[in-house]
Amino acid sequence: MYADKRVRVVLHASHLVVYDRNVEVARHERLIAKGSCRLDLDHYLEALIRKPGAFPGATALEQARSAGKFTPVHDAWWAQARKVHGERDGTRALIEVLLLNRHLAHEHVVAGLATALRAGALTADAVALEARKAAQAEDEPTTGARRHPAGWQDRMIRHPRGSPAPWFRRFLPGPRRPRYRWAGQPGSSGRTSLRR
C-alpha cells in the first residue's frame, strides 16, 4: 500500500512512527541491535489467510507469542477450532479472529475468545459478537444513571486561568464570541488590521 511512496519517519527512544502526510500509518518498536528484525503478525494476516498451512511455523507468530500478543486463550481456541473444523479451516477461523484486532481492543478480543471457547462457539463471528459485548460492557456506566452526551461547555478546552482557550472562542455561540470588524466595515476606523 505504501510501496514507492514517500513517508516520514519519526524516531523516538523506544519506538518509531511512520506518517503519510500527517496521518500516522504505523508505529513500531525500535530495535537496538544491528541487523535485528521484529515482525508484526498483523502485517501478514492477509497472506496467511490464503495459505493457512504457513501459520503454525510463522516467525511472526512466535514473536507475537513472546511479546504476549498471542495468549494461551488464543492457543486453546485455535486447538478446539482445529479439532472441530479441521486444520486448514480452524486456522483460517483463527486468522479471521486476529483480524478483529484492527477494529477492537486486544483485551476485548481475548475476552471474546474466552467467552466463545466456554460456550463452544468456534467461529470468528461468535468471537466478534462476544468481543463487541465486552467492549460495550466496559463502556456502560457502573451505576444505573444514564449518561448524557457532553455539551459544548464540557468539551471546551480551558485556558489555565479557567477561561476558554483563546483559539476556541471563535467557536462559541452567542455573546461569548468576540466580534471582529474588518477595515471598511461600518463602525471600523478604516485601518487595515483585524480589530476587536
Contact assessment for residue 188 and residue 195, using Cβ atoms and an 8 Å cutoff: yes
Across the range 150-155, mean pLDDT stands at 48
Angstrom distance (rounded) from CA 102 to CA 100: 5
Contact assessment for residue 60 and residue 45, using Cβ atoms and an 8 Å cutoff: no
Phi then psi dihedrals of residue 33, to 5 deg: -70, 135
Instruction: Give the pLDDT score at 157.
Output: 47
Q: Is this model's pTM higher than 0.75 or not?
A: no
Instruction: Give the pLDDT score at 90.
Output: 95
Tally of CB atoms within 10 A around 152: 11
Per-residue pLDDT band for 159 (boundaries 50, 70, 90) equals very low
Instruction: Report pLDDT digits (tens) over 111-126.
Output: 999 999 999 999 999 9
Instruction: Give the pLDDT score at 138.
Output: 82
Residue ranges of domains in the chain: 1-38, 39-139, 162-196
Least confident of 35-44, 55-64, 110-119: 35-44
pLDDT at residue 18 above 60? Answer: yes
pLDDT at residue 134 above 60? Answer: yes
Instruction: Give the pLDDT score at 120.
Output: 93
Instruction: Give the pLDDT score at 31.
Output: 85
Ordered strands of the 15-20 beta sheet: 8-11, 15-20, 23-29
Across the range 41-57, mean pLDDT stands at 92
pLDDT at residue 6 above 80? Answer: yes
Per-residue pLDDT band for 162 (boundaries 50, 70, 90) equals low
Instruction: Report pLDDT digits (tens) over 171-195.
Output: 555 554 455 555 555 555 555 555 4
pLDDT at residue 167 above 70? Answer: no
